[in-house]
Structure 1
Amino acid sequence: MSYPVLAQQYALFRDSMYEGVAELPLHGESALTELELQSLWFAGELGSEFTTTCGKRVAVRDFGVWNHAAGPDFTGCAVQTEGGVLKGEIELDPDVRDWERHGHATNPAYERVALHLYLEGPEARAFTRTAGHREVMQVRLSRDMLRDGARPQLLAEARLGRCATPLREMEPARVRSLLEAAAQYRLQRKSAKLQALVKLHGREQAVYQALSAAMGYRNNQRPFTILAQRLPVKKLLKLGALEREALLFGVSGFLESVRYEDTQPDTRAYLRELWSEWWKQREQYTNWLTEVQRPVWRIGGARPGNHPQRRLGALCAMLGKWKGVYAFLKDAKTWSREGFSEALLELEHDYWSGHYTLLANPATKPLALVGGTRVQEILANVCYPLLVPENGKLWADYLELPAMLDNQKVRRAALRLFGEHPEAGSYQKRLYHQQGLLQIYEDYCLEDDSGCAECPFPEKLRGWQFGAV
């Protein structure tokens, strides 16, 4: 079926599962750090329209710029209030009492704060006032405001589920129809997230931010997103290649963490080039180099080729060819899957095409900066979610995309739904198969806390007939 008919039918099917069932809070959710909270806010993941602690409606019309100097977190913002548009800064704290604890109440730099956001607070009301004794509007944020895709997810056990029996009894065409519908629904949700980002920051920045996150793989998507938010693409493109690269590696914290004497001779030459530019800029970014504000890179368990230093090198190479890469994503009319894929696969870098990290020995042979599997991930998570809503005919092209070579989440989902069934492999040959499996797994397996015993999915499956509930 054409886009978005199946997505709509899957949404109805999904909603019917838990009709009348109240959502319980998840146990064991990890606490959000201040930096993660700031990044989620700036991406619009917490929304843009709120009710203040005084009961007044406000809407953030311009999220401004993420401030790298001392002072409020976001500058140049615009907040729509009942009395008109208020221009100024936005401060975001994990706790409302941080305003007083950090001395903002007596600091003139916070005089123009228009909105104070916070996540936690005491039962007794805590007010936000400036050095000039002006009361600042407050909005209390909560995890419930997060879009579904931004919420931390738990992993269900990789064991055979009760749904395996009805799935085994379904005709292959019905199973494929279900997977296509779930994949279409998944793409539609990703599209909504991208379109919200486009609305907030413009199409080019939204594309750059999404591609940056994709470079981070699963473990480092948030740090790469933070870099893209703090150093927007328009700012970076105004710089020369070396200055741009030095800024990215400097703000990431990678230059600070590497001792010159621990590196190889060719790496020392590369570091000298970066530091020759970074030292000129470093002073104005020292606030982002503190322990609280520095991105947290997850390196343990990563394959050598996926080390975040190398992924950042790939991002620098992509920025060097940005005009050609972005040309395919300006709108659906300019799209070419072959052209876009080739543009990424051909990226090269004088240093990073031959090194895994800043501390590793040179590689024995040239290394691809962006491989075929990474291109597939980008097609699934960025390109088609951005373009299919603009041209529904691209859905047919999406259905032809081959499956990604290796994905632990897909393997877990397939084992849960199909077990060792002989047909299981035939439902993992296409990218849309994998995306559909992931969506079903997240919608039901990850939402069920009864050990599969009370999940409504197995019984509801019998009502699925080529997209009809």
Structure 2
Amino acid sequence: MMDIPEDFLHYVWQFRSFNYSGLATTMGEKIKVISTGLLNKDAGPDFSNAKIQIGSTIWAGQVEIHLKSSDWIKHHHQNDGSYDNVILHVVLEHDEDVVRNDGSILPVLVLKNRIPQTLLDKYYGLILNLNDFPCKIQVKDVDPLIVDSFLARVVIERFELKTTQVFERLAQLKGNWDETFYHFLARNFGFKVNGSPFELLAKAIPQHYFARHKDHPEQIEALVFGAAGFLNDGFKEEYPAKLKKEFEYLKQKYNIKPIEVSLWKFMRMRPQNFPTLRLAQFAALIVQSNHLFSKVMDVKDVSELRRLFENLPVNDYWKHHYHFKKEVEDVSVQIGKVSIDNILLNTVALFLFAYGKHTASQFYINRAIQLLEHLPAENNAVTERFVAAGIKMAHAFTSQGILQLKKQYCDQKKCLSCGIGIKILKNEK
């Protein structure tokens, strides 16, 4: 038998996937499993509230599982009072008797020769699979309801993980939701490649600076491009020269320290995604939108949410430039639909969920989920692999679940914690 992890034994015990014929302890007492108990993922014994008949006595308590019975000593359970109520020690191999604190020998059930070979073969097949993800071949045969149910669970897991980041930033910003939203929105504007410098930009210019210049779009543009480090050169063109002059004054007024311009990435990018054009769009959004966080919290319709990011008043200069000093014929200055949907998915939906958690409002949590269900599924290298394997990608709710599944379960070979993997293994006969 190849090496197996302890959590595989948890699976075998939890789902009773072992041969029940002639169950007995190592001391020869007959065993009847009335209830395996509840899996405990926190500290303490592995299963609680189990009910086991040993000989003529029915015991209620906890079950501990190890690869070897000597692991009880190795893990120092003999010194932990939370293990005093263990009624059965389930092991793969028995190599040492364990004595309770009251002097009695802890009953042991050995599973080594009771696990079906078909189950072992399936488990090894998943874990040792060199495909893009372990169940690439089998997933198409799993009931779609099982798949959808587990994806729904991991979407919430994904939201919960990201919400932790929101709460951390919210605490740093003294509970200011508008400013926190502004920071995350800025990072989202940079997408994967320029997310970090965009985030640094948001930290360099607090949102309330912009509020003082709402009636002067070019001053807002000067703040954005100046703090981003793009106004250090000399310019012959009127627009960038004017921005530079404006920023020289604003920089002194607000004591702004521009970020290093070298942080912005242009290499191997389509001009439409150049950070300079994204910064122009970001500045235009600031000019156009007052209290954007409040608006996204209030607007329920997806088409209305999209309109908040459409038809931005981007300066005409950018209709013929992707970069300062580089003139081109025609440039589409508006944010594309795919990019807008990305913002709705990664910032708006996240903040709806986070605000719902913070205020204990199921209303906003439901709105976050509904938003994902009304956005198209993401199309990337990960989702393409799952589609090829037979998963139907109906909307962003599904694709977000797939991304979480791949990162937190497939890549880490956690098939025994995955509802899809468990279903495949349960069909071992």
TM-score (norm 2): 0.59
The amino acid of 2:249's aligned partner reads K
Per-residue Cα deviation, 1:209-267 (whole angstroms, up to 9, x for no partner): 111111111111110011101101012211232222212211211122x5536xxxxxx
Q: Does 1:463 align with 2:422?
A: yes
State the secondary structure of the residue aligned to 1:345.
coil
Give the structure 1 partner of residue 133 of structure 2. 161
Tell whether the 8 Å contact from 2:189 to 2:198 is kept in structure 1 after alignment: yes
* Distance apart, 1:282 and its partner CA: 4.4
Q: Does 1:420 align with 2:379?
A: no
Distance 1:346 1:17 in 2: 53
Give the structure 1 partner of residue 349 of structure 2. 384
Change (3 A) 1:396 1:315: closer
Per-residue Cα deviation, 1:392-429 (whole angstroms, up to 9, x for no partner): 3315522422325643xxx23542xx4733x23x2x23
Change (3 A) 1:182 1:277: same
State the secondary structure of the residue aligned to 1:301.
coil
The amino acid of 1:457's aligned partner reads C
The amino acid of 1:171's aligned partner reads D
Tell whether the 8 Å contact from 2:184 to 2:347 is kept in structure 1 after alignment: yes
Give the structure 2 partner of residue 234 of structure 1. 208
State the secondary structure of the residue aligned to 1:352.
helix
Identity %: 20
Q: How does 1:224-373 map to 2 (within 5 A)?
A: 224-239=198-213, 240-256=216-232, 258=233, 260=235, 268-282=237-251, 288-289=257-258, 296-323=263-290, 325-329=292-296, 332-350=297-315, 351-364=317-330, 367-373=332-338
Root-mean-square deviation (CA, aligned residues, Å) is 3.2
Runs of at least 5 residues in structure 2 that lack an aligned partner in the other structure: 1-38, 44-128, 425-429
State the secondary structure of the residue aligned to 1:196.
helix
Distance 1:459 1:287 in 2: 49
Distance 1:398 1:179 in 2: 16
* Distance apart, 1:166 and its partner CA: 3.7
Change (3 A) 1:177 1:299: same
Tell whether the 8 Å contact from 1:183 to 1:439 is kept in structure 2 after alignment: yes
Change (3 A) 1:273 1:464: farther
Tell whether the 8 Å contact from 1:373 to 1:405 is kept in structure 2 after alignment: no
Per-residue Cα deviation, 1:291-317 (whole angstroms, up to 9, x for no partner): xx6661121112111111111101110
From 169, 172, 178, the counterpart of 1:197: 169
Per-residue Cα deviation, 1:65-90 (whole angstroms, up to 9, x for no partner): xxxxxxxxxxxxxxxxxxxxxxxxxx
Tell whether the 8 Å contact from 1:158 to 1:412 is kept in structure 2 after alignment: no
Change (3 A) 1:335 1:207: farther
Q: Does 1:439 align with 2:422?
A: no
Q: Does 1:180 align with 2:156?
A: no
Number of corresponding residues: 287
Change (3 A) 1:271 1:395: closer
Tell whether the 8 Å contact from 2:345 to 2:372 is kept in structure 1 after alignment: no
The amino acid of 2:388's aligned partner reads E
* Distance apart, 1:19 and its partner CA: 8.5
Change (3 A) 1:319 1:179: same
Change (3 A) 1:309 1:17: farther
Give the structure 2 partner of residue 394 of structure 1. 367
The amino acid of 1:297's aligned partner reads W
State the secondary structure of the residue aligned to 1:440.
helix
State the secondary structure of the residue aligned to 1:255.
coil
From 370, 375, 394, the counterpart of 1:429: 394
Tell whether the 8 Å contact from 1:236 to 1:244 is kept in structure 2 after alignment: yes
Distance 2:251 2:40 in 1: 54
The amino acid of 1:280's aligned partner reads Y
Greater RCO, CA 8 A, separation 6+: 1
Distance 2:379 2:342 in 1: 11
